């Protein structure tokens, strides 16, 4: 089968077929090997990519920048301040301007609608670098990492996401897992479950790919047999900080602890997190929350985060290789 991704956008993993996702993951593994061997070829010479960040970022920004530079492309970073976007210029007008100047656009912001407008009106490939609904480039890196840590096929791989199961990362993870035919479990309080239509959509994909979906508020049921345990922050960027108290109360039973890792029954179970993580009090927000609520971590204990089971920094590195694969597949050649 020929995989033709040139000119394509990645607004959500819904946009990609299972074959296209697998193609990007394979290309990313090849690119990682090339970079490590010092034999990387430049496939994006002369291309220019605009990077719009309405929200903060470490991994996504640096991954796009280094991936582009490695391949001979140029980038312009447009941060939360400093451009006309959102103040004197609409997303639609910005799309038409950047579409005349750049070969592709990355967007991180709140609204999924905005990434769609950018794609519609720029006429160039647009990459979702995180919205409130989706974080597709994260999940490409997650599956690259999962594949590197198992010899099992996706349908033999059980992956559980703990905590805020309706956030952007959980949703994109479930998109990817169902497309790749994995055993996906979402575990958290009912009030934070994705809506029924989304669950039905995933189950529909699973019927075609062999993917299975469990949604449960019972930790023991959901983590039993899990090969990979994933979590994310309890309050995402842009959500009101007044919600911390409620989220901490709701989500504390879903914290990833050493006991929870043992409950999987899989001695080799691995821990994943998109990062940044509140695993100790060494951050401004973590210290403040710690003081206010008398806790020393949130979604994961420091013990699990620092354990041999933790593959979170592989995930971080793989952001760059998978984003590079995406840029080459959509812009190269």
Q: Which residues bind ligand NVA (CB under 6 A)?
A: 130, 167-169, 232-233, 236-237, 274
Catalytic residue among 274, 279, 297, 315: 274
Least Å distance, CB 39 to ligand NVA, is 32
Between 202 and 230, CB nearer to ligand CP: 230
* Residue 96 annotated to the active site: no
* Residue 297 annotated to the active site: no
Q: Which of 45, 58, 120, 241 binds ligand CP (CB under 6 A)?
A: 58
Tokens at 190, concatenated:
């009912």
Catalytic residue among 32, 103, 114, 138: 138
158 binds ligand CP (CB under 6 A): no
Q: Give the angle subtended at the CA of 31 by the CAs of 103 and 332, to the nearest 5°.
A: 25
Between 130 and 256, CB nearer to ligand NVA: 130
* Residue 319 annotated to the active site: yes
Q: Got the DSSP string for 98-121?
A: HHHH-SEEEEESS-HHHHHHHHHH
Q: Is the peptide bond before 158 cis (omega within 30 degrees of 0)?
A: no
313 binds ligand CP (CB under 6 A): no
9 binds ligand CP (CB under 6 A): no
Least Å distance, CB 156 to ligand CP, is 27
Between 135 and 324, CB nearer to ligand NVA: 135
CB under 5 to 8 A by kind: which of ligand CP, ligand NVA, none does 232 bind? ligand NVA
Q: How many CB atoms lie within 10 A of CB 36?
A: 10
User: C-alpha distances in angstroms, 49 versus 24, 38, 320?
Assistant: 19, 24, 15
Burial (CB < 10 A; 0-12, 13-18, 19+), residue 146, is buried
138 binds ligand CP (CB under 6 A): yes
SS3 76: strand
* Residue 274 annotated to the active site: yes
Between 93 and 314, CB nearer to ligand NVA: 314
Cα distance between residue 267 and residue 123, in whole Å = 49
SS3 75: strand
Least Å distance, CB 285 to ligand NVA, is 11
Catalytic residue among 108, 114, 247, 255: 108
Tokens at 332, concatenated:
């190269």
Cα distance between residue 308 and residue 57, in whole Å = 26
Catalytic residue among 70, 103, 164, 232: 232
Q: Are 171 and 198 in contact (CB under 8 A)?
A: yes
Catalytic residues: 108, 135, 138, 232, 274, 319
Q: Which residues bind ligand CP (CB under 6 A)?
A: 57-60, 130, 138, 274-275
């Amino acid at each position: 089968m020929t995989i033709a991704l040139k000119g394509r956008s990645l607004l959500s993993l819904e946009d990609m077929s299972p074959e296209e996702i697998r193609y990007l993951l394979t290309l990313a593994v090849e690119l990682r090997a090339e970079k490590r061997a010092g034999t990387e070829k430049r496939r994006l010479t002369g291309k220019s990519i605009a990077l719009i960040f309405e929200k903060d970022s470490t991994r996504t920004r640096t991954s796009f920048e280094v991936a582009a530079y490695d391949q001979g492309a140029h980038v312009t970073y447009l941060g939360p301040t400093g451009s006309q976007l959102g103040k004197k210029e609409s997303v639609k007008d910005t799309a038409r301007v950047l579409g005349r100047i750049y070969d592709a656009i990355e967007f991180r912001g709140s609204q999924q609608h905005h990434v769609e407008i950018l794609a519609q009106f720029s006429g160039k490939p647009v990459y979702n670098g995180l919205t409130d609904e989706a974080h597709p480039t994260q999940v490409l890196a997650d599956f690259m990492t999962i594949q590197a840590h198992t010899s099992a096929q996706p349908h033999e791989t059980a992956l559980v996401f703990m905590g805020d199961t309706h956030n952007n990362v959980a949703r994109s993870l479930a998109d990817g897992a169902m497309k790749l035919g994995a055993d996906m479990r979402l575990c958290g309080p009912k009030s934070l479950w994705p809506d029924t239509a989304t669950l039905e959509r995933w189950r529909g994909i699973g019927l075609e790919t062999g993917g299975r979906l469990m949604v449960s508020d019972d930790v023991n049921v959901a983590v039993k047999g899990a090969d990979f345990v994933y979590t994310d922050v309890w309050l995402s960027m842009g959500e009101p900080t007044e919600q911390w108290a409620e989220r901490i109360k709701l989500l504390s039973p879903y914290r990833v602890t050493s006991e929870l890792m043992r409950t999987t029954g899989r001695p080799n179970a691995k821990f994943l997190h998109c990062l940044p993580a509140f695993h100790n009090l060494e951050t401004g927000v973590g210290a403040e929350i710690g003081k206010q609520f008398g806790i020393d971590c949130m979604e994961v204990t420091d013990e699990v985060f620092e354990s041999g089971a933790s593959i979170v920094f592989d995930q971080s590195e793989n952001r760059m290789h998978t984003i590079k694969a995406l840029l080459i597949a959509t812009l190269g050649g």
